[in-house]
Each structure stands twice: as C-alpha cells, then as structure tokens.
C-alpha cells in the first residue's frame, strides 16, 4: 500500500515562519500537494536500493515567482546519500528547472536509486526541501525543516556549513520521512550451500595382487629345486612375510595349476590338476611359518596365458600368430596349429610355451587404511602431511571440523585441482568469499574444467554481489545456480521453482507466498531457518510465534540478535 503524505505542510509552515513571501498563498492549503513513495519499506535488490516517488500539484497552486528544490536523501547510521535534486519553478522564475504552470495540474514521477552499503540496513528515505523567493529571507535557496516549516537559524546554518556529524544530524532532523527501513532478505540467500565439492577416489581397503610361477618341465608335474628358488617365488615369499608384520594387511593365497595348450586336452587337464597339488605342497612348505590357509585349483590348458605371453613377446609376427589361432574354436585344432607355428617360430617353443607349464601362486593382499579418527588425530597433531591426497580429500568430506586444514594441506602439497575447488567450498561456507575466489582461480590454473568449478564460480560471484560476472558462468551452470542468479536480480517468480529448502523459502517470502515458504522450511532446524520463521510470523501478524522463533534462532546463533535489532521485517517485535 502506498503511503500518502502532505508535502504542502512543509511549505505552509515555511511561509508562516520564514517571511518567504512567494510561499504565503501556497501555504494556505496544506493538503494540496500529495506525495507517495513506492515501496514504503525499501527493498535491497542486486546491490541497489530503489524507490519511485510521485507527486501531484493542483492547478492554480504554484506561485509564479517561487522556486523549490526537493532532494531525496537516504539517511543511515553514520552517513547519508543524496539522490538527484528536482528543481520546481514558477512561470516567472528565470532558471533551468521544471516549470509548474499555474493554470493546470501537474503530476511528477521520479525514480531514485542508491548503491547499497551494509550500514544502510537500518535507513530512512527523506525529502530535504530548500526554498527561494526574490524577496524576504529566502533570496538564496535555504534549507527548511520539512517537518515544521521553520527556516534555519543563523547558528543552525553555521552548523550546516561545517558538513560534519552535527551537520548530518541536523539535515536528518530537517528531512521529511517518506519511506522507512530496508528489506534485506535478498542478502540472506545462502549461495554457498549450493556449491559443489568434487569427488575423491579414496578407498579404505586397497587390494594388491602379486603372482609368481612354479615352472615345470614338459609333461611333468614334479617340481625341481630350481623352480622353487626362482626370483619371483622368493620375492613373493618375502612379500608375504612383510605383510604378516603389517597389522592392516590381510592375505589370501591360491595355487592354480595350468598346462601349455600344445598338448592333448585330456592330458593337459590331468597335468594341471597334478601341478596344482604338487605346487600346493611346495607353497605350504615355503610358507609354513605364516600360518596362512592356502587353496589350490586346476584350470587345464592356459589359452589365455598363451595369448598374453605372445602379446608381451618380441616375436615379430605375434599379431599374425594370434589372428590365426583365434580362427580355431576347437582345442584340438588349436593344439595342432600351435605345434605347427612353434616349428616356424622358435620363440614360441623356447620362450612362450615353457612358461605356461606351471603352478601359479596368487597372493591377494587387502590393506586397510587409517580410520577417520586416526586421520583427524594426525591433523590435530599438525601431521596432516602424513596423509595421502585421497585421504585428505576424504577426511575433509566427512569431518567438517578439519576440512579447511586438510584441503589446504592437499592443495599446498599436491597442487590438486579438486583440493582447491573443495577448499573454495569450505571457505565460502565460512563466509570468506574472497578466499574462495582465489581457491577457484588456483583450481582453474591447475587445469580443472569441471562442472563443479563452473557452478562454484557463479555462486561465489553471486555471494560477492557481482551478478554480471556470475551470469557469465551461470549460462553453463545447473538449474539451481541459474535460479539463484535469478533470485539475486529479484526475479523471484522465475527463481522459486529451481530452488529448495531455505533459499526457496526466501524467494517465496519475497513473493508474498508465506504458506509455501513455511513448507519449504519444514525439517530445517538451523538458526537461519528459525530467523526466517520469525520474519514470516511477523508478516502473518503472529507476534507470539515470531518471538518464539527469534528466541530459538538467537539461542543457536547469538549474532542474530544484532541483526534482528535493525531488521525492518522484525520491527513489530521491538
């Protein structure tokens, strides 16, 4: 609802008390000029505070020799900002103002806009009025008290001339209020909550597979002493023993018997079975001090092993060999062809086939990593550098209390783009948007082109109030980011469908849909949600519920008490 006031009261009193002759007749009708301001409560939008001021001057009202300067001024704690001055003048005044014809009514509209400063959270929009007449005390434009019409005394004019805090206070006293307070709900939008961390590759259990071959002579299942002492077998034994000393390691050992695919299938099946058993006995003897259970199995002809060995060999025509053999699905046909090829390619006979006559020892080791509690303890002890990159990324995700230290360590030690991006999320959620922007730049410099990085850039710029920059990234962002960009411009109807929870509730309150806002807040027990519930309750006229919600909010975040003391949305509670 627009608030109407009578500007002529100001002028009438000025005429009566100031001997400004040209205003005396105008002052006889105090209700003649009506002034309104939209909105009555100012609204923050996209870093601006805007208002539309309207006035109507009736016909035959304005003195032909009068001049009037009207300046909208936004007063706030510690300062004031003036808008554009409007000069109104009668038909016989020689100046460059807006001429008010005496014989017809005149409507005037003016848009005023101020750049937002945090100090403006508690503010009032007033009109300062200066008058000028050719005769009397107002031959030069003279500020009057717009509330009682009094012309300033000489001592007051001296105060005004100093342009200090006392002068500011005097101007504030002289101004006529047309709008009060500033709705800063847009500033409460939580952009950081929509920021996205990049995933890590952390695994608490890491598996390693190590293999060694016990090699047999052709058509034999008896192991030689040399076979048991082969380098890879000795190395596997040492690995097993080392793992036994590691309390985080668990091991599973298998012995798999094979035969090379150049013999009869039935014979190879028997050979593979016997080799698995003789290999099992050898491994049990080899690892008898380990106390581990060892399993054995037989797999017959090692066709897959043959293909791998050929592919890894230096045989010049190895691709041709594999292509020819792949044409045969029958094991018997393949056996025959392998023998034929072995007679042509000596390396098949001397290097490939012998290594497939084996019992393969397979050791699968599972290493269980540090617990989350152990990682947190290391960080708290100043030993974060003892954690791997993936451990640092993981613990930052699951333990917010150490997230910033973990991610800063990951960024400093590894230069990883994910660490920088995720650090930006943590910094933004702590309110450090400049630090977050720097971290995003580092992520980009580290080569990141992720969707998360693009979205986060948009959100940080929105949080900083740099909407134009944010929109460059928002074009390629997800639906939620685009909706937040719309909300940052005051386009709440377009934004609300893409938002959820607390942010949706803010957009709905700004739209006036209080029922939907309360529903969006369901389940949110945070301090900021309780504060918004208090705002909604005030708008609904339920001051008892508003006080309870505000009390709950302040109990969770004491800083909200200071915010509430200036919040025009909660003025009814004061």
Point out the domain boundary residue: 424, 457, 489.
489
Based on the fold, state whether residues 470 and 526 are members of the same structural domain: no
Q: Read off the pLDDT of residues 225-263 as tens digits, 9 standing for 90 and up.
A: 999 999 999 999 999 999 999 999 999 999 999 998 888
364 and 390: one domain? no
Domain boundary among 148, 183, 218: 183
Q: Do residues 72 and 126 make contact, with C-beta atoms less than 8 angstroms apart?
A: yes
Residue 548: give its domain's CATH number.
Answer: 1.25.40
Domain shared by 230 and 172, yes or no: no
Query: pLDDT tens, 71-106?
Result: 999 999 888 999 999 999 999 998 999 999 988 899
Could you give the CA distance from residue 68 to residue 455 in angstroms, rounded to a whole number?
Answer: 52
Question: Do 226 and 200 fall into the same domain?
Answer: no
Q: Residue 331: what pLDDT?
A: 74
**365's torsion region: left (phi>0), alpha (psi -120 to 50) or beta?**
beta
**Crossing angle of the two packed helices 403-414 and 417-429, in degrees rounded to 10:** 150
Are residues 230 and 339 both part of a single domain? yes
Same domain, 394 and 507: no
Whether residue 21 sits in one domain with residue 107 = yes
Residue 409: CATH number of its domain: 1.25.40.10
479-483 long-range Cβ contacts below 8 angstroms, 24+ apart: 480/194, 481/194, 481/455
- Provide the residue range defining the domain that includes 541: 494-574
pLDDT for position 30:
54
- Write down which residue in 368, 400, 430 finishes a domain: 368
Given this model, what pLDDT does residue 2 score? 39
Render pLDDT for 335-373 as a digit per residue (tens, 0 to 9): 777 777 777 777 888 888 899 999 999 999 999 999 999
Residues of 323-342 as b/e, b for ≥16 C-beta within 10 angstroms? eebeeeeebeebbebbeebb
pLDDT, tens digit, 9 for 90 and up, residues 5-54 = 444 444 444 444 445 777 777 766 655 778 899 999 999 999 999 999 99
- Judge if 179 and 54 occupy the same domain: yes
**Domain containing 288 — which CATH number?**
3.30.1330.60
Q: Tokens 């100001």, residue? A: 10
Residue 195 and residue 315 in one domain:
no
Under a CB-based contact definition with an 8 Å cutoff, are residues 320 and 353 in contact?
no
What per-residue confidence (pLDDT) applies to 28?
66
Same domain, 67 and 189: no
Q: Quote the CA–CA distance of 69 and 483 in Å, as a whole number.
A: 43
Structure tokens at 416: 């990883």
Number of domain units in the chain? 4
pLDDT at 8: 40
Cβ partners under 8 Å of residue 159, min gap 6: 166, 167, 170
Residues 485 and 557 in one domain: no
Task: Tell me the sheet residues that pair with 298.
Answer: 257
426/429 Cα distance (integer angstroms): 5
What pairs with residue 234 in β-bridges?
none
401: exposed, middle or buried (C-beta count within 10 Å: 0-12, 13-18, 19+)? exposed
Residues in the chain predicted with pLDDT less than 50, given as ranges, are 1-18
Nearest Cα residue to 277 out of 302, 294, 262: 294
Q: Are residues 482 and 398 in the same domain?
A: yes
Is the separation of the CB atoms in 185 and 327 below 8 Å?
A: no
Rounded-to-10 torsion of CA 412, 414, 417, 419: -60
């Amino acid at each position: 609802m627009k608030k109407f006031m009578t500007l002529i009261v100001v002028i009438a009193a000025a005429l009566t008390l100031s001997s400004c002759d040209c205003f005396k007749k105008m002052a006889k009708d105090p209700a003649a000029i009506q002034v309104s301001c939209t909105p009555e409560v100012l609204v923050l939008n996209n870093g601006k505070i805007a208002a539309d001021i309207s006035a109507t001057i009736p016909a035959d009202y304005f003195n032909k020799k009068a001049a009037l300067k009207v300046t909208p001024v936004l007063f706030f704690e510690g300062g004031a900002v003036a808008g554009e001055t409007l000069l109104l003048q009668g038909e016989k005044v020689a100046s460059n103002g807006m001429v008010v014809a005496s014989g017809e009514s005149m409507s005037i509209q003016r848009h005023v806009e101020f750049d937002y400063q945090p100090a403006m959270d508690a503010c009032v929009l007033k009109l300062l009025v200066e008058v000028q007449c050719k005769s009397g005390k107002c031959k030069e434009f003279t500020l009057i008290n717009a509330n009682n019409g009094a012309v300033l005394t000489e001592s007051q004019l001296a105060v005004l001339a100093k342009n200090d805090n006392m002068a500011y206070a005097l101007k504030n006293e002289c101004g006529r209020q047309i709008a009060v307070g500033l709705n800063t709900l847009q500033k409460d939008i939580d952009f950081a909550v929509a920021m996205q961390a990049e995933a890590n590759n952390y695994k608490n259990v890491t598996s390693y597979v190590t293999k060694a071959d016990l090699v047999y002579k052709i058509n034999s299942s008896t192991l030689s002493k040399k076979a048991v002492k082969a380098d890879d077998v000795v190395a596997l034994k040492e690995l097993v023993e080392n793992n036994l000393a590691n309390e985080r390691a668990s091991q599973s050992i298998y012995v798999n018997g094979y035969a090379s695919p150049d013999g009869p299938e039935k014979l190879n099946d028997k050979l593979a079975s016997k080799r698995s058993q003789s290999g099992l006995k050898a491994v049990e003897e080899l690892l008898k001090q380990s106390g581990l259970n060892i399993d054995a199995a037989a797999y017959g002809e090692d066709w897959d092993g043959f293909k791998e060995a050929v592919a890894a060999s230096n045989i010049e025509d190895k691709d041709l060999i594999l292509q020819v053999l792949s044409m045969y699905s029958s094991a018997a046909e393949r056996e025959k062809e392998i023998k034929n090829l072995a007679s042509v390619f000596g390396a098949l006979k001397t290097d490939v086939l012998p290594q497939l006559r084996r019992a393969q020892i397979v050791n699968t080791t599972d290493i269980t990593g540090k617990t989350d509690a152990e990682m947190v303890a290391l960080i708290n002890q100043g030993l974060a550098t003892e954690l791997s990159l993936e451990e640092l990324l993981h613990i930052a995700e699951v333990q917010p209390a150490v997230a910033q230290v973990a991610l800063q360590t990951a960024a400093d030690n590894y230069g990883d783009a994910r660490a920088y991006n995720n650090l930006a999320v943590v910094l933004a959620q702590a309110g450090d948007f400049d630090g977050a922007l720097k971290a995003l730049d580092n992520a980009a410099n580290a080569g990141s082109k992720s969707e998360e990085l693009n979205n986060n850039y948009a959100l940080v710029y929105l949080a900083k109030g740099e909407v134009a920059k944010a929109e460059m990234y928002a074009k390629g962002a997800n639906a939620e980011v685009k909706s937040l960009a719309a909300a940052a411009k005051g386009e709440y109807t377009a934004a609300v469908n893409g938002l959820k929870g607390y942010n949706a509730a803010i957009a709905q309150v700004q739209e006036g849909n209080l029922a939907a806002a309360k529903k969006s807040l369901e389940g949110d027990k945070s301090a900021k949600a309780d504060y918004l519930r208090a705002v909604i309750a005030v708008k609904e006229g339920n001051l008892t519920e508003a006080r309870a919600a505000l009390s709950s909010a302040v109990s969770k975040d004491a800083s909200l008490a200071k915010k509430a003391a200036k919040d025009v949305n909660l003025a009814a509670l004061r």
